[in-house]
């Protein structure tokens, strides 16, 4: 069932200023202007965002992604720092470079610099809330501010390691909201539709350069462009989306960019794990996310069941559908993935309030505030065991390194040990997941067979070792943080050979063990053997082509 919608009510601002008597002070009159109304809203949003994300400052890193980004940032600020060469990730380069720029601007003082990242994440949440409010305000008048509040409260409604982290999703959302807002604005400003649609394409590109799944924002943007300008709209928005991505690809290296961001992720995306694991993660994290924003979900369900889908909301539903596709990509369903769905949900919920005469708005806000408070309390009491363990490991590594910054290998899935210990990654591949093929969201009891070819991370690590040895350096320490995992060195022959023959045990911290290099020449032979093995197929092909040249 599809319902038509009445024209949205508009007003002079987010709040209707009351009529003031002539004797009102000039300060009060200035405060009640539309600009002052936005000032109050932004101050309110800043207060709510700070309170709901205050636990973010209570620890160094909330999840491995943050440790990964901090380690990447430090590597990018070295003299040879270039993404996908000095450090590798399956993500686009925008956020790692943002971390690096923050470190460069405020100084790389280790853990104290991370506080700046936390504060920046809060500012980004506020910007997202303002953009959401503007989208909702254009459609539902003064009720738009409720959408921003629902977003800020709902963004805290996940497991603390998902809601309090300065994650990829947090930094991509302002761009996705800006893309939608610009495309929506083109509908109302026909004379400026083309530049607005171009801006929407650029914003969607910047979102995609933060995280690939944000590219689905192009679904409502393209639909809006087609509805408003037909082929001219598509001819505007598609190049505006593609050109920034191509430009960044050329900047960081075209082949490396497209391999690691798009074409080289097949093993990660297809490492799904058992069906029961996928379903448990899906329904568990979806249940947490839905429970935190239950009032918004119920309002949408109630109005949809009562009136059907309003034609005026088609682009919002398309935005939500695209976000759901982004969350589902790879079928990993981590909790922070669901943040991508929150902006269209809170805007649709605000529409439900508006069309229901704004009744129950305080109930909706109150219920969401209560759930946010529960998650806030949970975040302050969240167990610290793993992070305290990493601190102890970092101190042991510093002691083994005699207080110097040395190239080391951390064989595990949490690269924050590099950053905490102040050591240098000896390879551009800084997790055992890259090197072994293990995926955190995939199969949890085995790793795929290691492939040796020129693009193999294991071959890449061996080449990194050879480059270090040529400079008179070496991976001095090997930190085995893989206890109880299927990628333990004893279960991966090539790593077991490396650790058994060329390193010696130094000390252990609980279930993590630190080893020191004992045979530099043997390490050189090991690394060269791995590189030769990876290049064997290429050599065989070249030799065959030389002996049997083609007709051309």
Q: Is the pLDDT of residue 547 over 80?
A: no
Q: Give residue-wise pLDDT tens across range 114-151.
A: 889 999 999 999 999 999 999 999 888 877 888 999 99
Q: Would you place residue 152 in the very low, low, confident or very high pLDDT band (cuts 50, 70, 90)?
A: very high
Helix (H) or strand (E) holding 148: helix 144-154
Per-position DSSP letters for 398-429, written without gaps between them? HHHTTT---EEEEESS-THHHHHHTPEESSS-
Mean pLDDT (whole number) for 81-106: 89
Q: Would you place residue 544 in the very low, low, confident or very high pLDDT band (cuts 50, 70, 90)?
A: very low
When mean pLDDT is compared over 254-263, 352-361, 387-396, 478-487, the highest value belongs to 478-487
Mean pLDDT (whole number) for 71-94: 86
Q: Give the span between the Cα atoms of 462 and 458, in whole angstroms.
A: 6
Mean pLDDT (whole number) for 508-534: 92
As given in the structure block, the two tokens for residue 515 are 């080893």
Q: What is the CA radius of gyration of the chain?
A: 26
Q: Give the span between the Cα atoms of 162 and 334, in whole angstroms.
A: 8
Mean pLDDT (whole number) for 190-208: 90
Q: Would you place residue 35 in the very low, low, confident or very high pLDDT band (cuts 50, 70, 90)?
A: low
Q: Give residue-wise pLDDT tens across range 426-484.
A: 999 999 888 888 776 556 667 778 888 888 889 999 999 999 999 999 999 999 999 88
Task: Sort residue 240 into left (φ over 0), alpha (ψ -120 to 50) or beta.
Answer: alpha
Q: Would you place residue 4 in the very low, low, confident or very high pLDDT band (cuts 50, 70, 90)?
A: very low
Q: Give residue-wise pLDDT tens across range 400-433.
A: 998 888 999 999 988 889 988 889 899 999 998 8
pLDDT for res 60:
80
| Sign of the CA dihedral with 135 first, then 137, 143, and 144 last | positive
> Which residues lie closer than 8 Å to 394 by C-beta, 6 or more apart?
417, 420, 421
Spatial CA neighbour of 479 closest among 551, 402, 397: 397
Sheet holding 477-480, edge to edge: 424-425, 407-411, 477-480, 512-517, 503-509
Mean pLDDT (whole number) for 356-368: 77
As given in the structure block, the two tokens for residue 132 are 């959401």
Task: Report the percent of the chain where pLDDT is more than 90.
Answer: 42
Mean pLDDT (whole number) for 316-337: 89
Count CB neighbours of 219 within 10 A: 18
Task: Report the percent of the chain where pLDDT is more than 70.
Answer: 84
């Amino acid at each position: 069932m599809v319902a038509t919608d009445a024209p949205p009510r508009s007003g002079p601002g987010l709040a209707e200023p009351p009529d003031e008597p002539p004797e009102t002070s000039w300060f009060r009159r200035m405060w009640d202007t539309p600009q002052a109304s936005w000032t109050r809203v932004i101050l309110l949003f800043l207060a709510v965002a700070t309170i709901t994300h205050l636990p973010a400052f209570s620890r160094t890193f909330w999840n491995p992604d943050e440790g990964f980004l901090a380690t990447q940032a430090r590597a990018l600020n070295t003299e040879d720092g270039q993404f996908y060469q000095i450090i590798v990730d399956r993500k686009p380069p925008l956020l790692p470079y943002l971390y690096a720029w923050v470190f460069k601007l405020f100084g790389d003082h280790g853990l104290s610099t991370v506080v700046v990242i936390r504060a920046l994440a809060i500012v980004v949440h506020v910007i997202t809330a303002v953009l959401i409010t503007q989208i909702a305000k254009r459609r539902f008048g003064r009720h738009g501010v409720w959408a921003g509040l629902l977003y800020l409260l709902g963004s805290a409604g996940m497991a603390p390691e998902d809601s309090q982290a300065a994650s990829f999703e947090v930094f991509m959302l302002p761009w996705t909201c800006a893309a939608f807002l610009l495309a929506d604005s083109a509908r109302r400003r026909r004379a400026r539709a083309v530049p607005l649609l171009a801006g929407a394409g650029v914003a969607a590109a910047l979102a995609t350069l933060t995280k690939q799944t944000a590219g689905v924002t192009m679904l409502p943007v393209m639909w809006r462009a087609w509805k408003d300008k037909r082929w001219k709209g598509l001819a505007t928005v598609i190049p505006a989306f593609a050109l920034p991505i191509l430009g960044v690809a050329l900047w960081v290296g075209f082949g490396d960019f497209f391999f690691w961001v798009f074409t080289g992720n097949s093993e990660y995306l297809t490492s799904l794990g058992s069906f029961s694991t996928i379903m448990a993660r899906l329904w568990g994290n979806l249940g947490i996310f839905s429970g935190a924003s239950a009032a918004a979900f119920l309002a949408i369900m109630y109005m949809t069941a009562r009136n059907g889908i309003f034609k005026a909301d088609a682009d919002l539903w398309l935005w939500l559908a695209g976000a759901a596709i982004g969350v589902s990509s790879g079928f990993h369903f981590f909790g922070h993935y669901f943040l991508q769905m929150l902006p269209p949900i809170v805007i649709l919920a605000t529409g439900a309030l508006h069309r229901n005469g704004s009744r129950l708005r305080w109930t909706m806000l109150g219920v969401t505030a209560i759930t946010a408070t529960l998650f806030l309390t949970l975040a302050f009491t969240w167990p610290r065991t793993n992070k305290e363990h990493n601190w102890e490991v970092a101190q042991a590594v510093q002691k083994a390194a005699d207080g110097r910054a040395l190239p080391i290998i951390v064989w595990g899935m949490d690269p924050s040990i590099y950053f905490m210990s102040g050591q240098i990654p000896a390879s551009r591949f800084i997790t055992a997941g890259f090197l072994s093929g293990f995926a955190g969201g995939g199969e949890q009891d085995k790793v795929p067979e290691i492939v040796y070819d020129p693009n193999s991370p294991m071959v890449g690590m061996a080449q990194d070792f050879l480059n270090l040895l040529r400079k008179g350096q070496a991976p001095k320490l090997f930190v085995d943080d893989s206890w109880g995992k299927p990628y333990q060195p004893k279960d991966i022959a090539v790593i077991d050979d490396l650790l058994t023959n060329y390193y010696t045990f130094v000390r252990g911290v609980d279930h993590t063990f630190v080893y020191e290099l004992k045979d530099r020449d043997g390490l050189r032979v090991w690394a060269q053997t791995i590189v030769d093995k990876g290049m064997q197929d290429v050599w065989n092909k070249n030799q065959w082509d030389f002996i049997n040249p083609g007709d051309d």
